[in-house]
Amino acid sequence: MIKDDRDRQFPAGGSRLSLIAIAGLIAGVILIATLIKTGDYSLLCSIAKSRSQPINGFSDMETQLRALVHYATSQITPQQNHDEISVTYDVLRNRNPCNFLVFGLGYDSRMWDALNPQGKTLFLEEDQKWVDEVLKGAPNLHAYAVKYRTQLKEADALMDHYRTQPTCFPSNAYLRGNDKCKLALTGFPEEFYDTEWDLIMIDAPRGYFAEAPGRMAAIFSAAVMARNRKGAGVTHVFLHDVDRKVEKLFATEFLCTRYLVKGVGRLWHFEIPAADKTTGHDDPRFC
């Protein structure tokens, strides 16, 4: 029996966060709880002062503490393992605060939100019921339920479509209202289009059975947003489940192996420059 992506993401073995990491989280919670209880805020204040950006009152720290307590006391493992998480964490540590777009809403969402204090972290999920369920326990998360126009079984046909549809070509591609290009994500919240994303995590939608949306459109649209970037620097794109055929095929076609800077486990990390900073902007292919 094929399991749901979310079920598959919580095995009891090697993909759990290491015992050392869990022990560190628990120790951190105990230490912070002790400091708060005894009224000794000196360490907390020193942490705040050491940040490159000022803490927004108590709200940012409260978000981080709640996430810390949640993961230290939970038996559920986040979608990615420790080494995979560390890849994105290293970028967030250097880019925070930033605009972080996450395809997927799950047991790791509190962590991603807490790792981007003062930044914007937006989650996109295909299942409204799942969004409602997650937000019951974490109402501070910023999430939307969205609809995809694709199905995994259409992957090959969608690749052929992109090569013949001018509005899919890299020099012409856009997202909002681009109904002719079947790989363009349309009908999403305005915030999705109006924000220039610094980091994009693709860990959804589901892509393990024929009628599932698959990640073809998410990968294509991430490439379009990265190429259309106006601000300084590159767009960091993180793609999970690259052990699967479709994820690997579409990543190679649209995110480009020359922009692949790191691969750990089932996660690939790309650094994609804006199109005006690359050569061959008028080429009919992305890579």
pLDDT tens-place values along the chain, 287 residues long: 333 454 433 333 444 444 444 434 433 443 443 333 344 434 344 344 444 444 343 366 656 655 555 454 556 666 799 999 999 999 999 999 999 999 999 889 999 999 999 999 999 999 999 999 999 989 999 999 999 999 999 999 999 999 999 999 999 999 999 999 999 999 999 999 999 999 999 999 999 999 999 999 999 999 999 999 999 999 999 999 999 999 999 999 999 999 999 999 999 999 999 997 554 456 778 99
Please state, in angstroms and rounded to a whole number, the distance separating the CA atoms of residues 58 and 76.
27
- What's the confidence (pLDDT) of residue 107? 87
CA-nearest of 212, 218, 170 to 197 is 218
- What's the confidence (pLDDT) of residue 68? 56
β-bridge partners, 121: 100
Count Cα atoms within 13 angstroms, Cβ side, for 48.
14
Which pTM was predicted?
0.78
Provide the H-helix boundaries in 106-255.
Answer: 109-114, 128-137, 155-164, 190-194, 216-227, 245-250
CATH homologous superfamily for the domain 77-277: Vaccinia Virus protein VP39 (3.40.50.150)
Please state, in angstroms and rounded to a whole number, the distance separating the CA atoms of residues 129 and 105.
11
User: Where along the chain do its domains lie?
Assistant: 18-76, 77-277
